[in-house]
Amino acid sequence: MTKRDLVMQISEETGMVQQDVLSIVQQTLDRISAAVAKGKTVEIRNFGVFEVKVRKARIGRNPNRPETDVPIPQRAIVKFKPGKEMREAVLKLSPNQRSRKKVE
């Protein structure tokens, strides 16, 4: 599902103009991104939690030259933990449905 698909579905269900829905969806995503970029945790009830985690520095290997160690520095990453309802809904899918299908 793309942002455009989401906007079209919401527009059809609510009767709102697509441009207004797009503006609301974009502003929502912008606020979530800005909060996470500041290191804040964003919790959306019944959906999930976005949070910043710090990965420790480690030593990696270059697959083309395995004898050479490559230092990988510490860095911040974004983690998403789905809410209970989403986790349960995904668990109900059969293995064939879990592939990357485009939602219609």
**The CATH number of the domain where 76 resides is what?**
4.10.520.10
Query: Are both 33 and 43 inside the same structural domain?
Result: no
Task: Please check whether residue 23 lies inside any domain of the structure.
Answer: yes
Structural domain count, the chain: 2
Q: What is the pTM of this model?
A: 0.74
Residue 49, pLDDT score = 96
CA distance 61 to 95: 33
Query: Are both 21 and 66 inside the same structural domain?
Result: no
Q: Which stretches of the chain score pLDDT less than 50? A: 104
CA distance 35 to 27: 12
Query: Are both 29 and 44 inside the same structural domain?
Result: no
Query: Are both 61 and 49 inside the same structural domain?
Result: yes
| Parent domain of 15 | 1-38
Residue 66, pLDDT score = 84
CA distance 8 to 20: 11
Query: Are both 45 and 94 inside the same structural domain?
Result: yes
Residue 67, pLDDT score = 87
Query: Are both 50 and 94 inside the same structural domain?
Result: yes
Residue 100, pLDDT score = 58
Residue 93, pLDDT score = 86
Neighbours of 21 (CB within 10 A): 19
Query: Are both 85 and 46 inside the same structural domain?
Result: yes
